[in-house]
Amino acid sequence: MSGRGVLSDDEIKADIMYRLLRRDCWGARYLPIDTLVNWLSRKVRRDGQRVRRILRELVNDGYLLVHKRGTTVSLNPARSREIEEYVRKVMRF
């Protein structure tokens, strides 16, 4: 992952899911959205706006689950195989 602002939307989606994967945030184990935005805003142009939009897309697509009135997210365990394949494909592991 290179300099600030050159990541595509797919790379940001994969990065978000990979960070949640590494922390084993499936189902009831979640991470605050603000924490994710702060970590990624260092890499992405237009800081939090773009990251929050992409997080919303992932929730709408069913990859992420929202907890605590929309302040935290976790990976959807029902889509675990799709999530792992997507991260592997985009991040080239």
Instruction: Return the half-sphere exposure (C-beta side, CA atoms, 13 A cut-off) of residue 83.
Output: 25
Instruction: Select the CATH number that applies to the domain covering 9-91 from these four: 3.40.50.720, 1.10.10.10, 1.20.140.10, 1.10.3720.10.
Output: 1.10.10.10
Q: What was the pLDDT predicted at 47?
A: 66
- Each residue's pLDDT tens digit in the chain (93 positions)? 445 557 889 999 999 999 999 999 999 999 999 999 988 887 776 668 889 999 999 999 999 999 999 999 999 999 999 999 999 999 986
Please report, for the chain, the start and end positions of each structural domain, with discontinuous segments joined by +.
9-91
pTM: 0.88
Cα distance from N-terminal residue to C-terminal residue, the chain: 13
